[in-house]
Amino acid sequence: MTDRMGFIGLGIMGRPMARNLIKAGFTLTVWNRSRPGIDDLVRAGAAEATGPADVARRSDVVISIVGDSPDVEEVALSGDGLIEGAHPGLVHVDMTTMSPEVTRRISERLAEVGIEMLDAPVSGGQQGAIDGTLSIMVGGRKETLERCRPALEAMGRKIVHCGPSGAGQTVKLCNQIAVALTNLGMCEALVFAARSGIDPRVMIEAVSAGAGTSWQLQNLAPRIVERDFRPGFKVAHQLKDLRLAVEAAEKLAAPLPGTAVAQQLFSALAAEGLGDEGTQALVKALERLADVEVR
């Protein structure tokens, strides 16, 4: 495994992930569409590239984590994309949550010029990115994963090979389905408690000790009670992931009724201009329906 790494996408997740690569001793070349991320990583010891193609030329493994499928296509396949900086042995590890179908299409196009691709989306949110404890779900050749494992271990605690190209993205959508529905259940429990006149803190304490506990109940519910809606993971990002899940499920004729409900509630929040709030803001949609506020 070489230590020549590239990193594209220095937002709420990418910036701490890139920092962890530097801390692990990797030589890092970075690029981002906006200056703050670049400046922050250059101060931490990274080198700045002029664009994705330049990152590719100066790296043996390029990691990207951007917004959605079209953004990954632009990074990989545009006129200044990774494909223009192709050289023998180059690997593209995309950690964006995106369409499994688009992932496979990009992988096939990159393979034509000798670039191997892994889809390696992550779970764990901003804190997991900061702590280097992300769960990483990987699709692609197992041999390529083993080559890149030291870098992935600098960013994540659990790394699972899920299958061929696109499998990592499919498993990540499974994760997002489970996360969204658990979040919805937690929010419904809070609204029901508040409407019943129960102190929500008492409900959280009691239920957290039993079979109804969850990461969301233990971590997001107390923030809701404090009316803290700062994002660890944004409403807009959750909505995008649920859209991808529902679209993929439709092509498979796999019914996802609960996911569709969660998608509609997150869509309502986005329509109100709450897309930049944390996913715990889901409770606001239910509060309006029940005419109650959880405090």
Of the candidates 23, 172, 234, 284, the residue annotated as catalytic is: 172
- Closest CA relative to residue 124, chosen from 67, 192, 179: 179
| Residue 240 is among the residues annotated as catalytic for this protein | no
- Give phi and psi for 198, each to the nearest 5: -90, 135
Task: Tell me how far apart the alpha carbons of residues 76 and 94 are, in angstroms, rounded to a whole number.
Answer: 9
DSSP state of 278: B
| Alpha helix stretches (DSSP H) within the chain | 14-23, 35-43, 52-57, 69-77, 100-111, 125-131, 142-153, 167-195, 200-207, 215-219, 221-225, 235-252, 257-271, 282-290
The two structure tokens encoding residue 48: 């700045």
Task: Tell me how far apart the alpha carbons of residues 160 and 6 are, in angstroms, rounded to a whole number.
Answer: 22
Catalytic positions: 172
